[in-house]
Structure 1
Amino acid sequence: MRFLRLLFIVLLAIILVAVALANRGIVTLNAFPANLGQYLGGRWSIELPLFLVIFLAVAFGMLMGLIWEYLREAHVRREARNRSAEVARLEREVGSLRERHANPRDEVLAIIDKPKAGTASQSAASTGPASGTTLPAAR
């Protein structure tokens, strides 16, 4: 991927240099139509190389597109920001509920939920049948 990006940049630079060399002629860029500039006073034209006019026009178009998309997608960013805040609030609420309900605060429930000490060791030690039961003989 890095190689493709570098290749793209090199090809773009070569194309831009070729366009610049092919369009070195000086052109006059007018801000207003011919007669309207006279009524406003001042000089409303500038002479630039053609390649510079082309590059400035492309850059201006890209800037306008960027601003247009930024304004067009403002509601999407606002909705994402609101949902992110809601998710953070719900995560805090779930965390506080987990802390509150993690251990029973009632002493009676704590005694009932507490495992008996002898039960686990007694069941592990006796692998045979319980006393007083009859099972069929092993084959």
Structure 2
Amino acid sequence: MSYIRYTFWGLVAVALVVVGLANRELTQLRAMPDQLAAFLGLSPTIELPLFVVLFLGVALGLIIGFLWEWLREHHIRSEARSKSRELERLRREVDRLKDEKHEGQDEVLALLDKAS
């Protein structure tokens, strides 16, 4: 099964290299429109290869999506934590009640009853 995973990631790597080679030309990125840059007197620009811009956009989108999903599922994780604590508390209480029930009885019979 792992060879399928390696084949998939190999194909993804080949596709990324092909996209990178096809989009090597420099692209100028501007932080603000020309009219606003002229009005403020500054024009922050940077030149990067187009494939870098594409890959950074995809990476930024993934990071924002993961963060959004993590925040959205906060209440689910919180509820699961509280249910887990309650379950552990109830297990301890059941064990304590079983020990009280078998107090003063034969140890072997108590162990057999506790195991079932």
Give the TM-score of the pair, scaled to structure 1. 0.70
Three-state SS of the structure 2 residue aligned to 1:24 is coil
The CA deviation at 1:37 is 3.0
Three-state SS of the structure 2 residue aligned to 1:51 is helix
User: What is the percentage of aligned positions where both structures have the same residue?
Assistant: 46
Q: How far apart, in 2, do the equivalents of 1:97 and 1:79 lie?
A: 27
On the 8 A contact 2:31/2:43 being kept in 1, the answer is no
On the 8 A contact 2:25/2:50 being kept in 1, the answer is yes
Three-state SS of the structure 2 residue aligned to 1:36 is helix
Q: How far apart, in 1, do the equivalents of 2:66 and 2:51 lie?
A: 23
Q: How far apart, in 2, do the equivalents of 1:34 and 1:80 lie?
A: 52
Give the TM-score of the pair, scaled to structure 2. 0.83
Three-state SS of the structure 2 residue aligned to 1:29 is strand
What are structure 1's unaligned runs of at least 5 residues?
111-139
Give the greater-gyration-radius structure (CA).
1
Three-state SS of the structure 2 residue aligned to 1:46 is strand
How much is the aligned-residue C-alpha RMSD, in angstroms? Answer: 1.7
Structure (1 or 2) with the greater helix fraction: 2
Three-state SS of the structure 2 residue aligned to 1:27 is strand
Q: How far apart, in 2, do the equivalents of 1:23 and 1:39 lie?
A: 33
Letter in 1 for 2:15: I
What are structure 2's unaligned runs of at least 5 residues?
107-116
Partner of 1:31: 31
